[in-house]
Amino acid sequence: MQPQREDFQYDLERALSAVVGIKAIVPPDAFTAETLGTERTGSGVLIGERGLVLTIGYLITEAEKIWITLGGGRAVEGHVLGYDQETGFGLVQALARIDTPHLALGSSARAGVGDPVVVAAAGGRQRAIVASIRAKQEFAGYWEYLLDEALFVAPAHPTWSGTAVIGAAGELIGLGSLQLQQQERPTGPATISASAKRDPKAVDVNMAVPIDLLKPILDDLQNLGKRQGPPRPWLGVFATEVGERIVIAGVSGRGPARKSDLRPGDIVLNIGDTEIHSLPGFFKSIWAQGEAGVEIPMQIHRNGRTLQLQVKSADRARLLKGPIVH
């Protein structure tokens, strides 16, 4: 499954050298420490001539220390520039000179289902695999995350966090985020799930965030640390689809949902006047109420009763530790 130099029209070794290792140290009292841990490792991609590294945001959220490992084993310290909640992209700036070539940004929109790609983690050709785009479709994550069109590639890379998805022109078209399962339906499109229960008949795939989502916000992340505009309302819930209903699977310990007495097991019936039947519909209805801080009117079903709740949303970023200025 490793890519061979002669099979590509671009300089494969040069492209793979732009993929670097990321190690982040997060303080134990950080908001995300309980769910994501205090030591996080993965990959990132050099996308600028001056040591600008793109990675997946959950690796670096609330990090107090960042190390970037280059191809020859050299490690340099990095600084978190920004993290975008909506896409999941994160940016790191190397604090030492890096002479390694960077990877140009390609077009994820032009990539089609069936197109061959190279999926690469830090470590060169030995940590890269030849894969293909298996699907381009909507993805909803239970942690209040939604992409209108994500890339799904197979076979899955075993260390997917921050991997580079390199297209046929040797350019970056996506960044690895998750490993999921794709289950074929007898009729209709395949479904992709993040279920903890493994299905031996399903195909493991990596979900990658399309690089086109980075381009409109890249300058904002570099200069402001986040995208311009008001933040989306956040409830601090973990939700799942059960049939055509949305069930609250869990709530964040310090989130608005817990303060408003939303509980695991609650079935969401309506957001305002909108009936809820899908996870994407649930998130979109919440975000349609206004910016962070707005009250979200919810109708829920609990233990045989229908209840009305008002959940005062929050800006999730305000609960996170900011980057340490070096």
d(CA 118, CA 105): 15
* pTM score over 0.75: yes
d(CA 285, CA 303): 24
Last residue of a domain, one of 171, 192, 224: 224
CATH classification at residue 273: 2.30.42.10
146 & 65 share domain: no
pLDDT at 163: 98
98 & 147 share domain: no
pLDDT at 187: 43
151 & 206 share domain: yes
pLDDT at 74: 92
Last residue of a domain, one of 211, 246, 279: 211
Please report whether residue 85 resides in a domain. yes
Please report whether residue 232 resides in a domain. no
d(CA 284, CA 326): 38
95 & 125 share domain: no
Range of the domain at 278: 237-319
57 & 125 share domain: no
177 & 251 share domain: no
Tokens of 71: 């191809």
Neighbours of 25 (CB within 10 A): 12
182 & 263 share domain: no
Please report whether residue 252 resides in a domain. yes
Q: CB-side exposure of 35: number of CA atoms within 13 Å? A: 14
69 & 11 share domain: yes
Please report whether residue 294 resides in a domain. yes
- Mean pLDDT per 10-residue segment, the chain (326 residues): 93 97 97 95 95 97 96 93 96 94 97 97 97 97 97 97 97 97 60 56 92 97 94 97 96 92 97 97 98 97 96 95 69
* Torsion sign over Cα 22, 27, 30, 36: positive
Please report whether residue 64 resides in a domain. yes
162 & 245 share domain: no
Q: Which residue has the tokens 């960077």?
A: 102
Binning the chain into helix, strand and coil, the percentages to the nearest 5 are 15, 40, 45
92 & 131 share domain: no
CATH classification at residue 68: 2.40.10.10
pLDDT at 191: 53
- What is the β-pairing status of strands 295-302 and 274-275? unpaired
pLDDT at 171: 98
29 & 93 share domain: yes
Please report whether residue 135 resides in a domain. yes
149 & 93 share domain: no
Domains identified in the chain, total number:
3
Please report whether residue 61 resides in a domain. yes
Please report whether residue 230 resides in a domain. no
Peptide bond into 186 cis (omega under 30): no
Phi, psi of 17 (to 5 degrees): -70, -20
